[in-house]
Amino acid sequence: MTTASGNHPGIWSGLVAVIRRDVLLAWKRPGDVLNPLFFFAMISTLFPLAIGPSAEQLQFSGPGVVWVAALLAALLSLNSLFLSDHEDGSLDQLILSPQPLPLLALAKALAHWLTTGLPLVLVSPLMAITFQMPAGTISIMMLTLVFGTVSLSLLGSIGAALTVGLHRGSALLSLVILPLAMPILIFGARTVSLAAADDAVAAGIYFLAAYCMLALTLAPFATAAALRISNE
């Protein structure tokens, strides 16, 4: 696909190329993909051992524990979102590319979700079993985690762009992202708890979907601006 002038690749091919590149690099560094999953699994499996085998207590605390574990696991990998590109100089090429920088920033965030957020969503039913969640609750939990992890990847790209190249940037990144992630955590865990109690969950799902759409609309432009500021 080319533009009318035929000299530059189309903008969508640029997005696909960045996603493909980052996914292939992640497969060559399996530790970057597996570490968040191991962290997520450790928290989700050790917590039931600590509170005991009571089914009622497990079902009551399960949604909050799974959501906190998913949030912290996603934060683990955010610091490296632009770090390797900054170290090898390819970040400068992204900024100077004729492709729109917000679109390339969106591609980086989507690639992060494919390699971190999506595996968390796929593994979450196994973690939910340790909390004795019913099948209907697990499906709601997976849906909320899809919206939540996509939002976290998009918001995290802003923080990663602001802190790229900074000493102890991971601590600063957490301080930047956690306030923005609190609504996701609160509504996500509460929606799963309502599903476990057979209450209405539509409002929570609509909020998470709207929050995801808002992040999808604004985060790429904020990330592009942050990358330009950090590169100066």
pLDDT higher than threshold 60 for residue 4: no
Query: Given CA atoms 173, 175, 177, 181 in this order, what sign does their dihedral have?
Result: positive
What is the rounded distance in angstroms from the CA atom of residue 67 to the CA atom of residue 127? 11
Tell the residue number behind the tokens 């968390």, with chain if given. 120
Q: What pLDDT is stored for residue 120 in this prediction? A: 92
Mean local confidence (pLDDT), 122-142? 88
* pLDDT tens per residue across span 179-204: 889 999 999 999 998 988 888 899 99
pLDDT of 209:
96
pLDDT digits (tens, 9 = 90+) for 97-122: 788 889 989 999 999 999 989 999 99
Conformational region of residue 70, where left means phi above 0, alpha means psi within -120 to 50, and beta covers everything else: alpha
> Which of 223, 207, 80 is closest to 155 using CA atoms?
223
Position 139 pLDDT exceeds 70? yes
Q: Does the pLDDT value for residue 230 go beyond 80?
A: no
Query: In this structure, is the dihedral angle defined by the CA atoms of residues 14, 102, 173 and 87, taken in order, positive or negative?
Result: positive
pTM: 0.86
* H-assigned helices in 89-164: 90-96, 101-112, 118-130, 135-163
pLDDT digits (tens, 9 = 90+) for 150-181: 999 999 999 888 888 665 556 677 788 888 89
Mean pLDDT to the nearest integer, 47-60 = 75
pLDDT confidence of 50, banded at 50, 70, 90?
confident
pLDDT of residue 187: 94
Kindly state the average pLDDT of the residues 118-145.
Answer: 89
The pLDDT of residue 114: 92
Chain-wide mean pLDDT for the chain?
84
Is the pLDDT score of 215 beyond 90? Answer: yes
